[in-house]
Structure 1
Amino acid sequence: MDTITAKEVEEMINSGKEVHIIDVREAAEVQQGAIPGAVNIPLSLLEFRAHELDKNKEYVMVCRSGNRSGLATQYLNAQGYHAVNMVGGMIDWEGPVE
């Protein structure tokens, strides 16, 4: 499984690169703060909403600590998507939140 650090994601965003972030936390967790522009698809719904994603794009998967997003990354990669796990999750995120 490919991984990326929170700092690397922040640097990509700050450099103007288009980054597709999927936040797999539950809605109540996301309300406490999310990376600007992240799309919330709770892990429990990912199987049912994966069709909303584009297999030609790379997705950065995010959760609180990196565990759920790791599961989401494995699932999406097995389905033919290109996903990477942001290790450390929102715990390690030091960038802006909305």
Structure 2
Amino acid sequence: MTSISVQDFNLLRQNEALNILDIRDLQDFEMSHLQNAVSVPATSLLNELNNLDKNATYYVISYSGRRSEIIASFLENHGFHAIHVIGGMRDLKELAA
């Protein structure tokens, strides 16, 4: 599984349009999320697999990075190219502060 540091992810997303899967609960997503991120709560992922493009690269982000690591691995095991964002939204917010 591929991973990216929150610092590198932040630089990349400023220069490119990325496919970002935010796997936090919908309530957390609605309170705060990244521009262009799509809400796909981890609990709903199985229902959303058919809506994902196996030719796309997905950057998977959660609150702390723990769940995104698991979900990125799951997606890769199902034929998707997924990149785990280490540190998640928590570290991204600290980086912006």
User: What is the rounded CA distance, in whole Å, between the counterparts of 1:21 and 1:35 in structure 2?
Assistant: 8
Q: CA deviation at 1:6?
A: 1.6
Number of the residue aligned with 2:5: 5
Instruction: Name the SS for the 1:54 alignment partner.
Output: coil
Q: Which amino acid is the alignment partner of residue 69 of structure 1?
A: S
State the TM-score, normalizing by the size of structure 2. 0.91
Number of the residue aligned with 1:91: 90
Unaligned runs of 5+ in 1: none
State the TM-score, normalizing by the size of structure 1. 0.90
Equivalent residue runs for 1:11-30 within 5 Å:
11-15=11-15, 17-30=16-29
Number of the residue aligned with 1:45: 44
Q: Deviations along 1:65-89, whole A, 9 cap, x unmatched?
A: 0111111101100000000100100
Q: CA deviation at 1:32?
A: 2.2
Q: Which amino acid is the alignment partner of residue 76 of structure 1?
A: L
Instruction: Name the SS for the 1:35 alignment partner.
Output: coil
Q: CA deviation at 1:12?
A: 1.1
Instruction: Name the SS for the 2:27 alignment partner.
Output: helix
Let me know the Cα RMSD of the aligned residues. Answer: 1.4
User: What is the rounded CA distance, in whole Å, between the counterparts of 1:28 and 1:71 in structure 2?
Assistant: 21
Count residues in correspondence.
95
Instruction: Choose between structure 1 and 2: higher helix proportion.
Output: 2
Instruction: Name the SS for the 2:84 alignment partner.
Output: strand
Provide the identity percentage. Answer: 27
Equivalent residue runs for 1:64-75 within 5 Å:
64-75=63-74
Instruction: Name the SS for the 2:31 alignment partner.
Output: coil
Stretch deviating more after TM superposition (27-36 or 84-93): 27-36
Q: Which runs of 4+ in 1 moved over 2 A?
A: none
